[in-house]
Structure 1
């Protein structure tokens, strides 16, 4: 009997992730059993799909893989999570059965890094303000504040999938790159093309600071009043990670002083209150959590899933391999 692939996400999620060409590739690998129920993924829905599976594909909206579900798939070899964090999916039972796990943080991180790069260029060029002044009838007011992505220092906080890709993109420019990540060695930073620095050193030296750290108890409000005060005047703070990493009250105070410029794709909570100062401050740009894959870019995860299944069946390492011991430092 051939390989059996169980696709657990509800049909609307499947449609977002996989196109016709993806289904053809999956069916060329083995027998594909798809969930056809749009409602909640209760055990009575999941068990018939997962029964006898060698590989399980999960994504947004999927439930934890409990012992009850796993008992229906005694030969299960791998879980490919076609989304970001696996924390809500993977249980101790998965690890105890020796099942390998892959996360789609890599393909998601590509879109995040590209968004951060776009925000970096637009902010340095003062495009946000120039657009508004031009609409207001001015022409060129604010040109003196335009900067180039050249000869400046960019600080990257977090060298996971998104942060690492952001660094790779920035290597196309003549800039100095600093990176802060507690689990990254100086040698690994150098291999990426950056120099490892303490968070305080990075904040004091950088013209642009881009946040790519995971949201963990240890990182909650890590950008507090004291650390924000270390940043250069006219520095740019970009957050495409999680809103909880920033003490927003402290950031608002800095922005009201006109000292910093912020590009925030995430806030805490989301959305911010209608009267929140971040919505009206002229030196703050808010976008509605669009940095990750939100439309056609999600199909990148579909291809990633297929490629991971092929790697699993060939006994090769996953691109998005997640180990049990990594969970405490992953988003």
Structure 2
């Protein structure tokens, strides 16, 4: 543990958002590591509030709704060494001034990714079991024969993107007797094998997979990656799961393909959110829509706080930060 200075930790997010993420136990852990300054106002902090809160801080904790850490904000904290973002993408808070000052940045994407992966696995199991349809039929007085039920066994599960969420989904899938196919241009064949997957090109993955789970960031390169041609490549009865970003799917093309009745989709994200009330995806029987709940929600937000405390402790003990983000990675982030 570093003992050469007393650490001042400024938590910038408003009280209402802070209390949703950080429980008393997490604040107690932070206070064991340094002097903690809290924002006691509700709502998102203004630039002036951020300047006041961050004054003299060595570490700043940000989250959803925090303002960008501009040069004007940072001039109040000349000793700032670390920003811990208690959320996913750091793009809303990171500025060039932060990198120029040599401030290190870490996020809680790994914690968020665990919840996303678990949700994707839940969609996988429930959809293959045909529970959505059977539940509707049973509620209506029927008693389905289960002829379309499939087990998570002997199938090929396609994973598109091996970031934090996708790699954790693969880890969870390794508990099942399935083949795992992976498309990710940034993952080598050797690394894919180490993860327990076979690296394939996207089109090949779509042709062989019984389930396709999307774990991609929203980037110009991924916009409408799942277009009409690629959706048409998918096997009959394939389950398409999107817990990533709605923009990666051409929803007009998806609705058209789903209307043929040969695919099933579980969408936790859409573009935009929410979809229009009369959007065709709302009416199709082979679509499950959930309101962007795949990441950390309610009690799951505690994972984020745990990750922040863990990375702060790692920093103070000169260990690698689990969520560290570097300037050269910014163009690849959601």
TM-score, L = length of structure 1: 0.98
Match of 2:178 in 1: 175
- Decide whether the 8 Å contact of 2:13 with 2:44 is kept in 1: no
Residue 75 of structure 1 and its aligned partner are, at CA, apart by 1.1
Contact 2:16 2:43 in 1 (8 A): no
2:324 matched to which residue of 1? 321
Per-residue CA distance 1:249-287 (angstroms, 9 max, x = gap): 111111110110000001111111111111111111111
Provide the secondary structure at the position in 2 that maps to 1:121: helix
| Partner in structure 1 of residue 226 of structure 2 | 223
Deviation of residue 43 (structure 1)? Answer: 2.4
SS at match of 1:86: coil
Which of 182, 187, 195 is the aligned partner of 1:192?
195
Listed one character per residue, the Cα deviations across residues 207-228 of structure 1 (whole Å, up to 9, x for unaligned) are 0000000000000000000000
Gaps of 5+ in 1: none
Aligned-residue CA RMSD (Å): 0.9
Identify the residue that residue 64 of structure 2 maps to in structure 1.
Answer: 60
Provide the C-alpha distance between the structure 2 equivalents of 1:104 and 1:307, rounded to a whole number of angstroms: 10
Say if 2:15 and 2:43, in contact at 8 Å, map to a contact too. Answer: no
> For residues 159-308 of structure 1, what are the structure 2 equivalents within 5 Å?
159-308=162-311
CA contact (8 A) 2:13 2:62 kept: yes
Matched residue of 1:23: which SS?
helix
2:130 equivalent in structure 1: 126
- Unpaired segments of 5 or more residues in structure 2? none
More deviation in 313-322 or 202-211? Answer: 313-322
Deviations 1:152-193, CA, capped at 9 Å, x for gaps: 000000100000000000000000001111111111111111
Instruction: Give the Cα–Cα distance (whole angstroms) in 2 for the partners of residues 242 and 40 of structure 1.
Output: 24
Q: In structure 1, what is the equivalent of residue 52 of structure 2?
A: 48
CA distance in 1, matches of 2:202, 2:310: 36
Query: 1:321 & 1:181 partners in 2: Cα distance?
Result: 21
> Deviation string for 1:62-82 (max 9, x for gaps)?
010001111111111110000
Cα separation, 1, equivalents of 2:38 and 2:189: 45
CA distance in 2, matches of 1:153, 1:244: 25
Question: How many Å separate the matches in 2 of 1:186 and 1:326?
Answer: 21
**Deviation digits for residues 188-212 of structure 1 (CA, Å, limit 9, x no counterpart):** 1111111111100110010000000
Structure 2 length-normalised TM: 0.97
Once the two structures are superposed, what CA deviation does each residue of 1:222-245 show, in whole Å capped at 9, x if it has no partner? 000000011001100000001110
In structure 2, do the counterparts of structure 1 residues 39 and 126 end up closer, same or farther at CA, with 3 Å as the change threshold?
A: closer
Would you identify which runs of 4 or more consecutive aligned residues in structure 1 move more than 2 Å? none
* Partner residue of 2:89 out of 85, 101, 117: 85
Aligned equivalents of 2:316, 2:44: Cα separation in 1: 30
Partners of 2:17 and 2:43 within 8 A in 1: no
Match of 1:36 in 2: 40
> Could you tell me how far apart the structure 2 residues matched to 1:182 and 1:9 are?
36
